[in-house]
Every structure is written in C-alpha cells, then in structure tokens.
Structure 1
Amino acid sequence: MKFKKDHVTIKELPEEERPREKMIRFGAERVSNAELLAIIIRTGSRRESAIALAEKILSKAESLRELPLLTIEELMELNGVGLAKGVQIKAALELGRRMASSIKQEDKNVSSPKDVADYLMEEMRYYQKEYFKVILLNTKNQIISTELISIGSLNSSIVHPREIFSVAIKKVSASVILVHNHPSGDPTPSREDIEVTKRIIQAGDIIGITVLDHMIIGEGRYYSFREGGLI
C-alpha cells in the first residue's frame, strides 16, 4: 500500500519560501527560528516537513531559551527525531554557546559591568540552578581566570568568603568580581544576595583583595551592585 503524503515538503515549496534559499537571498536575520532549525536538521519525516518538525521541537522546548537544555534523549522522544538529528541539534547549539564565550581570558580587560555581562551572559543565562563564580583579576584588571565556587538549588546558592579568597590568594589576584545567576531570569538582588556580598567585601578588606563588583545574570539582563550603589 502506498503511503499517502499529507504535507508539503520543502522541495515542493516555492523557491523563495525554502529556508536555505531564503537565508541565502535575504540573510540569516530574515529567517525564523523554525526555519533556521529546519536548515540544521535538513529533512523531516514521512508525515511532516523539516519546518513542521522544527516547530514541534521548539514547542517541546517551550521557548528558545530552553532549547539548549533539552537532552539528546528528550529530542529523540519526538517522532521524526532520531539519534543523528538529535546530535546535529545539540552540536549546533554547543557551537553557538562556545562562540558566544570564546573571548580569550588572557586578552580580556574588565573595565565595566557590561564587559562582565558580555563575557559570561550567554553561558550563565541558561543555568537552571544558581551558579556562583568569581572572576580573578590582576593589577591591570585583566582576567587571570574564572572559578566556579558553588552550585546552589533552584533559587539559592551557598557561598562562603573563604572559598572565594582561598582561590584568589592562590592565584595572586589583586581584585575579584563576584558573579552569579538567577534562574528565574530576574536579576534583582535578594536580601540574601546583599548580605552575602557585604560579608565577602568585609573579608576582602581584611585580606587586602578588593571586591570590585557583584554581578547577577538574568535572562538577557544583569544587575551590577556597583552601578546600583550597593558597593
């Protein structure tokens, strides 16, 4: 029995509506999220086009922000997504993430909160738990390294000044910048954030290592304690 097709394939679309041709002609910025994803997965299934399958994948993720969080196994739960397509999608997302955070630490000079946001935003905005990191700087405000201090629960991180300054002393840091994320997407500091920051600043003053700022990363937004007058 011949299978009856109930969808239009990409090849059957007018050329100007095909994702790849559309991107070549008008540029990537004129192509929708589903069309970009369809270009990556290349083919659909017997029952749906690559665009329809891409739309289903985006629907499963609920938002573009959540797409990188889907595992290969979760992608494969969708009809039409096998191991090969799942790996293709994850590889493309990982490449994008690495490109966004590809600035060499040794060449990076921090002169403003925006520099910190540009450096860590794309990496930290997708975390589903609170990650507390510290950027270690030399006397010229160049990054020595970025260290992960703790991983907390959904809405709180646990950090102690000794964990921060032990690594800062070991790497001969002149100053530090504290950075953590809010999985909710709202970077507004909590009372706990403010109290912890005060304790860390006091400890730094005693040791002789300056806390330049505390940055909270949200969904495409950030909060700087220095800009907010809290430091």
Structure 2
Amino acid sequence: MEYNLTIKDLPKEERPREKLCKFGTKAMSTAELLALIIRTGSQSDTAIELANKLLTHTGGLKFINNLSVEELQEIKGIGVAKAAQINATVELGRRIRLANQETKEVITSPQDVANLLLAKLSFLEKEHFVVLLLNTKNEIISIEDISVGSLSNSIVHPREVFKPAIKRSSAAMILAHNHPSGNPEPSNEDIKVTNRIKRAGKIIGIEILDHLIIGNKDYISLKERGHFK
C-alpha cells in the first residue's frame, strides 16, 4: 500500500504551518516555505525532505524561477499538481515584485490631493472620511475609506483612522472628507476632530500632514488655513 508522508506526520513543533503562525515567515527556512507550497510529500519523503531535494536538484531558488512545469516534474516526487503549485507561486512573487516597483504618485501640495479626491468625494449625499497613506518620500501607499456619516468624535475615532496606517507601515497621512452641502468651509467640529487625530499621530509616530475638506468644485486645506496646533 502506498503511503504519502505529510507535514502532519511531523511533531507539532516542527510543522511549518504552525511555525509560521507562531513566529512569522522570517523564522522559516527556504525548505519549510517551499514545503508549505508542496503541501504533501511522496511515498519516501516528507514535504520538507522533498523541498530540500528540489532545492538541491535545481541549485537553489534563483533556478526554480526558470523551470517549467514539465522540468519540475523531472524531479522524483514532483507531479503535475506540485509542479503547477510551485510555478504559480513563482509567477505570483514576480508580479508582486513588479507591482512594488511601479512608480508611486508623490504628494507635494494640497492641490495634488484635491486632484485625486474631487471626483471621488464631490456631490456625495453623505460625508465620507478618507485618509491618504504616505511613505517617507510622500508617495501614496493607498487611499483608505474610514467612515461614512457626519464628522464627529464618535464616528471618526483615532483607532479606526490609524489602523490602516499602522498595518501598512505608513510614515504620514493626509485626512480628507467632503461636505455634502458643497461648501468646504470647516466647522468647529472639523477642526476639533482634526487636532484630536493630529495629537494621537504624534504619540503613535505617524504625522498628519493636512486635512482637506472637499466641496462640490473646490476644497479647503486646514493646514493652509492655520488650523493645525
């Protein structure tokens, strides 16, 4: 009877999946990461042993990158399913690398922010609060929707504002929201909430560069208006 050894046959503390969940990917060896992709071993090898054989046979990760599904199947224990999984993972890694190399838009002024958000936020019937996440070069990492509704301390809580910024390791943020009335003049509540978030940013270490209020066709920068404390 054929019996395929799997990662589950290993002691729990040696299983790659459990190790990854407990310590993260950086604590994993290349063979262990590859074993998670392969998932199961062969009749004679566990997934980790098969991963080590694959690395030895190909000469390392940089050579796996160039192997086709057919070439991977030449390695004993690697069938079409495992070969396809490896090939797909390599291609996905390549696409992620290319995506990270794409030119990011740089914010140099409130007008740059307005150019991005006027079409998104103008003429909405409810207030939408968004944040622009920036890296150390003021390049946009992403634009995140935080809340919908009247701007207030209860709706725009610093916890929710900074959650995506912390997750994406942002260096700075720009706040923005629209006024459904079309008039971008800031209210006392706008200024109060802005400075509350700005103070929280100083504690966390993420700088709030500005807060734009978007009207139907124009905007106001609270920083330019001198409302930042």
Partner Cα separation in structure 1 for residue 183 and residue 145 of structure 2: 21
Structure 2 residue aligned with 1:205 = 202
Which among 104, 122, 126 is matched to residue 123 of structure 2?
Answer: 126
Q: Which structure 1 residue ranges, 5 or more long, are not aligned?
A: 1-104
- Do residues 184 (structure 1) and 181 (structure 2) align? yes
The answer to whether residue 109 in structure 2 is matched with residue 116 in structure 1 is no
In the aligned structure 2, how far is the partner of 1:198 from the partner of 1:106? Answer: 32
Aligned length: 125
Alignment partners' CA distance in 1, 2:188 and 2:198? 16
Partner in structure 1 of residue 191 of structure 2: 194
Question: Cα deviation per residue 1:90-119 (whole Å; 9 max; x = unaligned)?
Answer: xxxxxxxxxxxxxxx953110100000001
Counterpart code for 1:172: S
Q: Does structure 1 conserve the Cα–Cα contact (< 8 Å) formed by 2:176 and 2:213?
A: yes
What root-mean-square deviation, in Å, do the aligned CA atoms of Structure 1 and Structure 2 show?
1.4
Unaligned runs of 5+ in 2: 1-101
Q: Structure 1 106/135 Cα, relative in aligned 2: closer, same or farther at 3 Å?
A: farther
> 1-side partners of 2:124 and 2:216: how far apart?
10
Give a deviation string over 1:27-61, Cα, whole Å, max 9, x none: xxxxxxxxxxxxxxxxxxxxxxxxxxxxxxxxxxx
The equivalent of 1:135 in structure 2 is: 132
Q: Which residue of structure 1 lines up, in the alignment, with residue 220 of structure 2?
A: 223
Scaled by the length of structure 1, the TM-score of the pair is 0.52
1-structure distance, mates of 2:156, 2:169:
20
Aligned mates of 2:119, 2:103 — CA distance in 1: 19
Measure the CA separation in 1 of the matches of 2:145 and 2:106.
19
Identity across matched positions, percent: 57
SS across alignment from 1:107 = coil
Q: 1:106 to 1:183 in 2, by over 3 A?
A: farther
- CA offset at residue 123 of structure 1? 1.4
How far apart, CA to CA, are the structure 1 residues paired with 2:189 and 2:103?
32
Once the two structures are TM-superposed, the CA of residue 137 in structure 1 deviates from its matched residue by 0.1
Q: CA deviation at 1:184?
A: 0.2
1:127-176 per-residue CA deviation (whole Å, 9 max, x = no partner) reads 110000000000000000000000005xx462101101111000000000
Matches within 5 A, 1:33-182: 107-153=104-150, 156=151, 158-182=155-179
Aligned equivalents of 2:201, 2:110: Cα separation in 1: 20
Q: Which of structures 1 and 2 has the bigger CA Rg?
A: 2
Give every structure 1 segment of 4 or more consecutive aligned residues whose post-TM-superposition deviation is greater than 6 Å.
none
2: CA distance between counterparts of 1:188 and 1:194? 11
TM-score (norm 2): 0.53
SS at structure 1 position matched to 2:118: helix
Does the CA-based 8 Å contact 2:212-2:222 persist in structure 1? yes
- Secondary structure (helix, strand or coil) at the match of 2:125 reads coil
> Is 1:106–1:143's contact at 8 Å kept on the other side of the alignment?
no
Cα pair 2:114 2:219 within 8 Å, conserved: yes
